[in-house]
Structures are given as C-alpha cells and as structure tokens.
Amino acid sequence: MIQQPLRVLVTGAAGIIGTVFWKRRHGEFSLRLADLHTEGLAEAPCPSMQLDVSDHAACLAACMDIDVVLHLAGVPHASADFDTQLLQPNIVGTHNIFRAAQAQGVKRVVFASSAQAIEGYPLDMQVHEHMPARPANMYGASKAFGEGVASAFAHQHGMTAIAVRIANVARFAPGQQHSARDIAAFISERDVVQLLARCIAADVPAGYHVVHGVSDNRYKRLSIDATRRLVGYAPQDDGFSLLGL
C-alpha cells in the first residue's frame, strides 16, 4: 500500500524560515501554507491561505484535515514591544493554534521557539535541551510561554509537542564579522529545514520535547546531543568554518 505524505499546515509560511522550508520540502509533505501576509506565497506549488492566528475560528479552519502543524507564525524580534507587537501573534496566536490543532484531532505540533528563550543563561554556558527556559527579553518570554503551552497540551491531551529553539538563521560567508555568540548560535538554512522536517516526520513518542536549532558549529551555544538522538538531526554546516575561522 502506498503511504500518503503527511498533511502539514505551515503557519508563518511567508517568513524567512517558512519560505525556505516549503521551497525545499514541498515534494516530501502535502503542505498547506498559511500567513497573515500572503504576497510571498503567490507562486508556491502548494495550497496557501491567509491566516490571522489571533482569530481562533480561522485557526480551526486552517487545522482541518491536517496531520502535523508546523507553527512558525509570530513576531520574531528581540526588541519587539509586548503590548503592541507580541501579545496577539505570539501569546494569543500560539494558544489558538494549539487549541485548534487539538480540537481538529492533530496529533503533533512543532512549535518554533527561539534561542531567545534561553538568553538569560551566561554566554559562556552551553545550554542543554533539558534546561528550562530563561529569557532575557519579552520576545524570549513570549517563546517561553509557547513552550509552556506546548507542554500543557502534550500532557493534558496526549499530543506530541516539539518546541524547537531556533537560533541564528543566517547566511555566512568568509570574511564576514559576527559576534562570538552569533557564530556559536548559527544555523544554516539547509540545517534548519532538515531539523524541522525531522521534527515533523521522525518517530517521536507522545509528550513534550525540546530540541535545539544550531548547526554543527565548532562551539555551540545550544547543545544538540539530545536533539540528534530524538529526531535524527544531522547538521551539515559549521558557522566557524563558513567564516573561514
């Protein structure tokens, strides 16, 4: 019997990570792309829709007949104002997506957390997947809230919820200047796409899991040892090598 591809809703699909994901993986999964701003989805080779994640009814409709939600939607700026920029998409929207996914029988939600959720740890300390969130700004706090929502839905409803602490998605080239933290937190576009695809498809037990999104950097701000074991992540890039260091 031919196995049908997983039906995956990608929120925030017109953003940087969402765009590189569907461009590279649209043939592997049956994707439904959703974003508040759909201009960047006009030429996508899969169905797309406008979605305001602060609208619960819209989230319910978006999650219908879906196997996995890849929740990338949200304001991603460390300096974002809580009341005017973060509250609706990052707090209300994340809760809405998990509520809608659970109501529609979705068994797995992959939530895009951020390395900003752990920026409260000293820079000379490597953060491991089992360590709790420790944000240093309100954007990081909004992602820590999302991790809490993911944990609650996993434990209350038997879902598989994977929080991906995505770090510094960038394109490095020799000669560029970056801080030590940003190099240690680097993740290439192809590595973040691979990681998210593994979180969607890997055989992972029900429950709440945290994985870390950095490349195979010589020194890593976030450890990926448990991430490798859980989802089979095999990063290909090293930020230090790409910069010629």
Q: What DSSP designation does 41 have? A: G
Distances (CA, A) of 43 to 6, 50, 73, 193: 22, 14, 20, 20
Q: Give the amino acid at 223.
A: S
Residue 109, beta-bridge partner list: 69, 161
Report, as residue numbers or ranges, the catalytic residues: 139
- The phi and psi torsions of 197 (rounded to 5 degrees) equal -65, -40
Distance CA 212, CA 129 (A): 7
Q: Are 200 and 108 in contact (CB under 8 A)?
A: yes
- The phi and psi torsions of 67 (rounded to 5 degrees) equal -90, -40
Q: Are 199 and 219 in contact (CB under 8 A)?
A: no
Q: Are 113 and 143 in contact (CB under 8 A)?
A: yes
SS3 label, residue 169 = strand
Q: Are 42 and 19 in contact (CB under 8 A)?
A: no
Pairing of strands 207-213, 160-166: parallel
Q: What token pair was written down for 26?
A: 């649209």
